[in-house]
Structure 1
Amino acid sequence: MPVLVTGGAGYIGSHVVRQLSEAGYTVVVYDNLSTGFPDALVHGERLVTGDLSDTARLDALFVEYGFSTVLHFAASIIAPESVTAPLKYYGNNTRNTLNLLGACVKHGVERFIFSSTAAVYGIPDSGVAAEESATVPINPYGTSKLMSEWMLRDVCAAHGMRSVALRYFNVAGADPQARMGQRTPEATHLIKVSCQAALGLRDKVCIFGTDYPTPDGTGIRDYIHVEDLASAHLAALSYLEKGGESTRINVGYGSGSSVREVIDMVRRVSGVHFLAEEAPRRPGDPPSLVARADRARTLLGWTPRYDNLETIVADAWRWEKKISGN
């Protein structure tokens, strides 16, 4: 029986789709291609172009394939943008998740894996977030994802579906074979932006905030390689297939790197000393956000393979050079 992956032609989704195909799953991707690319589906997975706001098309898709498992990635993900365009995020993230969950209930889906975010935590007092930490998002992006988690929790309780909500920390890097990676032209991911600056595609990198209460004054994030994040989804799927109960799980490494440390690493890997310019803080950015990620290892049996900033940057750099033609 095929697995449905919404947003499967995007950055994270395409890595998960590839790993699912390599593990022997039949995958159907549903994507509006606003930030996704058909050629990211390297194993010939079936691509259905459509939007989650189109409930009639969504219903027909479920009728055609009879999915019992859904992995849901499709969403808007830029936290600062959500502050200035909140309705876009509540529409694309929360309302469209409601539409998808409605189809899942109607057609008897058994398992659901949700692409959530560490932004649901807001600003933890210690800068470290565990799954039991308070969820106090500071921007509409985090709120839209938390509202989706609440809906998913209640649907599972009412209808017997089981789910895993994976709360991502800062995803970076690319497929080590450079078959896929982050391609969104307006991307705001620090590692991608820094690689573009090293390639001369950007004039500079802005350091948004240098007065945070951190060792070097810049924000600290838990950067996780996209390949490790993708493998956590397969571990979550295996967990549900074995009868695991609904849960929420952080996916990060449990250690952080500052903005300056990331920029220095990109300079070292690329061999290019590009310009980094200090700028005011952005709205919606916490000073520090690092995962407490024990549950992924103990409950899912997840073992990361790429827990190294230099490896993450090197794979991102290889990908950026490929797509830029350098």
Structure 2
Amino acid sequence: MTVLVTGGAGYIGSHMVRALVDAGESVVVVDNLSTGFSALLPEGVPLFIGDAGDENLVEGVIAQHGVESIVHFAGSVVVPESMRDPLGYYRNNTMTTQSLLNAAVRSGVSRFIFSSTAAVYGNPEEVPVPETAPTRPLSPYGMSKLMTEIMLHDVATAHGMSYVVLRYFNVAGADPLGRIGLSTIGATHLLKIAVEAATGQRAKVDVFGSDYPTPDGSCIRDFIHVTDLVEAHRSALSYLRAGGGSVTLNCGYGRGYSVLETIEAVRRVSMRNFAVSHAPRRPGDIMTMVADTGRIRTLLDWTPKYDDLETIAAHALAWEQKLFLERGGPLQQAESA
């Protein structure tokens, strides 16, 4: 039994591939390498360079490798970019998944795990936010993921497919063993930006919005370590293989940290005092997003191991230092705290 991982050379996808290989699973990857890196994949994992929406490619991979489950990570994930290019997000997220599902149905794949987002909730009325909360996305990114969730539900109902939708909160950190991490140049993840500042690659960190009605005026996020997130995917796969029914689950820790608290955590673990500047709010940003994790903890065999902001920051920093040194950069540009 082989698992097809789309976007498997990207940040989260590559961690998933590593976890599956470490567990003795047979894995195959489809990735167009627009934001992924083939070097992040374990030796021996077949990589097909192309789009997850290329139905002929996907059907060929499924037939050649005996794929029985698909874990779908491929997609675009930057909220501000989606505000500028909504059609690109509907094409790359929603339409690509429609084609992928079409190939899966024709090929008889019956298990599907989808990488969704807490952005489907918009600004939630209650925090922590449960899976039953109203879905009111504030960005084309969130809407493209919600449209895909609806489509997946309808396809599964019509064709006997079982699925797990995992709504990510804020994914961060890197492989604790230092093998892989977030490698995309120009990434917009807060912790990635902060560790780039800590290693002297950025002059400052911009905080978008300091006048929110929160304790320190900045947005609040529920950060989840990428390793815990991929373990949730592995647990979801086991759940489906055991005959579990289709379900939508939040992926977070149920604990929120403000943007400014997160920056301070990076300063502490790096012992670097990098600059922070305040900028206006961005369209599409959500004020407070913290997961209600009761359902995932009850339904899946999943217990987080890295539920600690400083641990997440330390792993992200260690990877960034390794990555920067490999690219030939010095690490002495940031001011010591």
Q: TM-score per shorter chain, which class?
A: over 0.9
Equivalent residue, structure 2, for 1:147: 147
User: 1:55 offset after TM fit, Å?
Assistant: 2.4
**How far apart in 1 are the matches of 2:49 and 2:72?**
15
Structure 1 gaps, min length 5: none
- In structure 2, relative to structure 1, the CA distance for the partners of 1:209 and 1:258 (3 Å cut) is same
**How far apart in 2 are the matches of 1:66 and 1:319?**
34
**Matching of residues 24-43 of structure 1 within 5 Å:** 24-43=24-43
**How far apart in 2 are the matches of 1:115 and 1:21?**
19
Asked if the contact 2:205/2:275 (under 8 Å) is kept, the reply is yes
**How far apart in 2 are the matches of 1:289 and 1:81?**
20
Equivalent residue, structure 2, for 1:283: 283
The sequence identity of aligned pairs, in percent, is 57
1:203 paired to 2:185? no
User: 1:294 offset after TM fit, Å?
Assistant: 1.1
Equivalent residue, structure 1, for 2:95: 95
**Where has structure 1 moved over 3 Å in runs of 4 or more?**
none
Letter of the structure 2 residue corresponding to residue 61 of structure 1: V
**Matching of residues 95-114 of structure 1 within 5 Å:** 95-114=95-114
Letter of the structure 2 residue corresponding to residue 141 of structure 1: Y
User: 1:129 offset after TM fit, Å?
Assistant: 1.4
Aligned residue pairs total 326
**How far apart in 2 are the matches of 1:234 and 1:59?**
23
Letter of the structure 1 residue corresponding to residue 308 of structure 2: N
User: 1:9 offset after TM fit, Å?
Assistant: 0.6
User: 1:73 offset after TM fit, Å?
Assistant: 0.3
User: Does the residue aligned with 1:224 lie in a helix, a strand or coil?
Assistant: strand
User: Does the residue aligned with 1:184 lie in a helix, a strand or coil?
Assistant: coil
Asked if the contact 2:29/2:48 (under 8 Å) is kept, the reply is yes
Asked if the contact 1:225/1:312 (under 8 Å) is kept, the reply is yes
**Matching of residues 237-316 of structure 1 within 5 Å:** 237-316=237-316
Residue by residue over 1:146-191, the C-alpha shift from the partner in whole angstroms, topping out at 9 and shown as x without a partner, is 1111111011101101000000000000001111101111101111
- In structure 2, relative to structure 1, the CA distance for the partners of 1:236 and 1:53 (3 Å cut) is closer
User: Does the residue aligned with 2:290 lie in a helix, a strand or coil?
Assistant: strand
**Matching of residues 226-245 of structure 1 within 5 Å:** 226-245=226-245
**How far apart in 1 are the matches of 2:110 and 2:233?**
16
User: Does the residue aligned with 2:67 lie in a helix, a strand or coil?
Assistant: coil
User: 1:57 offset after TM fit, Å?
Assistant: 1.9
**How far apart in 2 are the matches of 1:229 and 1:174?**
11
1:51 paired to 2:51? yes
Residue by residue over 1:68-104, the C-alpha shift from the partner in whole angstroms, topping out at 9 and shown as x without a partner, is 1000000000011101110110000000000000001
**Matching of residues 116-195 of structure 1 within 5 Å:** 116-195=116-195
Asked if the contact 2:130/2:292 (under 8 Å) is kept, the reply is yes
User: 1:43 offset after TM fit, Å?
Assistant: 4.2
Letter of the structure 2 residue corresponding to residue 65 of structure 1: H
**How far apart in 2 are the matches of 1:14 and 1:45?**
11
Asked if the contact 1:21/1:43 (under 8 Å) is kept, the reply is no
Letter of the structure 1 residue corresponding to residue 122 of structure 2: G
Equivalent residue, structure 1, for 2:335: none
Asked if the contact 1:31/1:74 (under 8 Å) is kept, the reply is yes
Equivalent residue, structure 1, for 2:14: 14
Equivalent residue, structure 2, for 1:219: 219
**How far apart in 2 are the matches of 1:128 and 1:138?**
18
User: 1:64 offset after TM fit, Å?
Assistant: 1.8
- TM-score (structure 2 length as normaliser): 0.95
**How far apart in 2 are the matches of 1:129 and 1:79?**
20
Letter of the structure 2 residue corresponding to residue 314 of structure 1: A
Asked if the contact 1:35/1:184 (under 8 Å) is kept, the reply is yes
Structure 2 gaps, min length 5: 326-330, 332-337
Residue by residue over 1:99-129, the C-alpha shift from the partner in whole angstroms, topping out at 9 and shown as x without a partner, is 0000011011011000000011111023431
**How far apart in 1 are the matches of 2:286 and 2:88?**
22
User: Does the residue aligned with 1:138 lie in a helix, a strand or coil?
Assistant: coil
Letter of the structure 2 residue corresponding to residue 30 of structure 1: V
- TM-score (structure 1 length as normaliser): 0.98
Letter of the structure 1 residue corresponding to residue 200 of structure 2: G
